[in-house]
């Protein structure tokens, strides 16, 4: 068991390094693409023609493959928290490559993320032994997990159809919330596929079961949705803010989903559960510090619900009255006058 968890640990560390780097590379590609066309944050797909974005995408794929294999050898409670390392990588690279300054308190936040993740790893649950994809399917269709899945789908649809067009450009939790909730289902599906592949390579063919292909379709759908809204979050907000908040929310939902589906914490002592909870609170504290020490990028408000209007300025006449002036410098036909008495 310890050898298996060690493999998962090493793969998770490698994965975090690649994924953290991919945030920076992809954002540089998004910036370049945004110069010549609509930005990803407003539905543009010009970044698909940008080579730098594809390099970042390949880097992320390598990291996700390493992460995929890690889930085969270790439980989600061990692998997922190590994603905190990607925060460190992206924050440091953003400081040097994107000129997004990382302050000293931000460094403290990164340190807290590492410490908290270490505590979680030391008290992580043991990997449950599963012998077939059918056994995983039985876990997936238990009432508790079906309720969780239905809740995630319902909330995600509300965020995508109602909240995203209206508040996505100003509220970072919209895009990241979609990524995180869908991401928890991605991890469950990926873990099921990974175990199926492992069992198949060991001689027990799992590809003959329809459940394997259902898990595969769910994983593909979730990954595409995840990447789309992650691109929008990266293109709209500061990378050093997106990374830690995405980590915190994604880890929370993934651990919660895994606890429901795989019953990771069944049989664990109260001490171990309390220690892991303290470690997770430490990680959240680190992300909060990172968030408070960074200034978000000013969003570009160009959604369908923002009316186009000329720029308006104000000037004071000699008689003490305020008058409105159009962008071209000429006074409009409808002049609004605000007297000084109004401001007293």
Distance CA 282, CA 287 (A): 9
pTM higher than 0.85 = no
Question: By the 8 A CB rule, do 64 and 19 touch?
Answer: yes
171 domain-assigned:
yes
5 domain-assigned:
yes
337 domain-assigned:
no
Residue 6 CA from chain centroid, whole number: 26
167 domain-assigned:
yes
213 domain-assigned:
yes
pLDDT digits (tens, 9 = 90+) for 56-97: 999 988 998 898 888 888 888 788 888 777 877 888 888 888
Q: Do 240 and 276 reside in the same domain of the chain?
A: no
Q: Do 272 and 253 reside in the same domain of the chain?
A: no
Distance CA 327, CA 334 (A): 14
Strands (E), the chain: 313-316, 322-325, 337-338
Q: Do 134 and 250 reside in the same domain of the chain?
A: yes
Q: Do 103 and 220 reside in the same domain of the chain?
A: no
Distance CA 50, CA 324 (A): 43
Q: Which domain holds residue 301?
A: 1-126+266-317
User: Which residues 6+ apart lie within 8 Å of 45 measured at CB?
Assistant: none
Q: Do 163 and 117 reside in the same domain of the chain?
A: no
Q: Do 257 and 148 reside in the same domain of the chain?
A: yes
Q: Do 223 and 166 reside in the same domain of the chain?
A: yes
Within 10 A of 217 (CB to CB), how many other CB atoms are there? 10
338 domain-assigned:
no
Question: By the 8 A CB rule, do 41 and 58 touch?
Answer: no
Distance CA 9, CA 230 (A): 25
User: What is the 3 state secondary structure string of 17-57?
Assistant: HHHHHHHHHHHHHHHHHHHHCCCHHHCCCHHHHCHHHHHHH
325 domain-assigned:
no
Give the chain's domain count.
2
Q: Is the pLDDT of residue 285 over 90?
A: no
Report which DSSP code applies to 131.
Answer: -
Lay out the sheet containing 313-316: strands in order across.
313-316, 322-325, 337-338
SS3 at position 305 = coil
Domain boundary among 262, 285, 305: 262
Q: Do 246 and 145 reside in the same domain of the chain?
A: yes
143: pLDDT confidence band, cut at 50, 70 and 90?
Answer: very high
Q: Do 26 and 151 reside in the same domain of the chain?
A: no
Q: Do 47 and 92 reside in the same domain of the chain?
A: yes
Q: Do 246 and 302 reside in the same domain of the chain?
A: no
pLDDT digits (tens, 9 = 90+) for 210-266: 999 999 999 999 999 998 998 899 888 877 678 778 877 888 899 889 889 988 777
Q: β-strand 322-325 against 313-316: which pairing, if any? A: antiparallel
């Amino acid at each position: 068991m310890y050898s298996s968890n060690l493999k998962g640990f090493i793969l998770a560390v490698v994965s975090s390094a690649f994924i953290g780097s991919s945030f920076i590379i992809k954002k540089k590609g998004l910036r370049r693409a945004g110069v010549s066309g609509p930005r990803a944050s407003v539905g543009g797909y010009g970044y698909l023609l940008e080579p730098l974005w594809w390099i970042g995408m390949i880097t992320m794929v390598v990291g996700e493959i390493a992460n995929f294999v890690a889930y085969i050898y270790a439980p989600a409670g061990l692998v997922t928290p190590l994603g905190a390392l990607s925060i460190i990588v992206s924050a440091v690279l953003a400081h040097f490559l994107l000129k997004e300054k990382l302050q000293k308190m931000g460094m403290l936040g990164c340190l807290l993320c590492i410490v908290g993740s270490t505590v979680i790893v030391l008290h992580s649950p043991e990997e449950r032994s599963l012998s077939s994809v059918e056994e995983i399917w039985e876990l997936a269709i238990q009432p508790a997990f079906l309720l969780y899945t239905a809740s995630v789908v319902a909330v995600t649809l509300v965020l995508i159809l109602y909240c995203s067009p209206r508040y996505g450009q100003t509220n970072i939790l919209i895009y990241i919330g979609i990524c995180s909730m869908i991401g928890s289902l991605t991890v469950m599906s990926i873990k099921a596929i990974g175990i199926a592949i492992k069992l198949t390579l060991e001689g027990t063919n799992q590809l003959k079961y329809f459940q394997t292909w259902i898990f595969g379709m769910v994983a593909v759908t979730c990954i595409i949705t995840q990447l789309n809204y992650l691109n929008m979050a990266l293109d709209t907000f500061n990378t050093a803010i997106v990374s830690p908040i995405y980590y915190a929310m994604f880890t929370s939902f993934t651990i919660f989903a895994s606890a429901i589906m795989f019953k990771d914490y069944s049989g664990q002592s109260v001490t171990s559960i309390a220690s892991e909870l303290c470690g997770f609170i430490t990680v959240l504290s680190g992300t909060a510090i990172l968030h408070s020490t960074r200034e978000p990028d000013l969003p570009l408000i160009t959604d369908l619900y923002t009316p186009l209007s000329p720029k308006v300025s104000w000037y004071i006449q000699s008689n003490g009255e305020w008058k409105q002036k159009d962008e071209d410098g000429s006074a409009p036909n409808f002049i609004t006058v605000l007297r000084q008495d109004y401001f007293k």
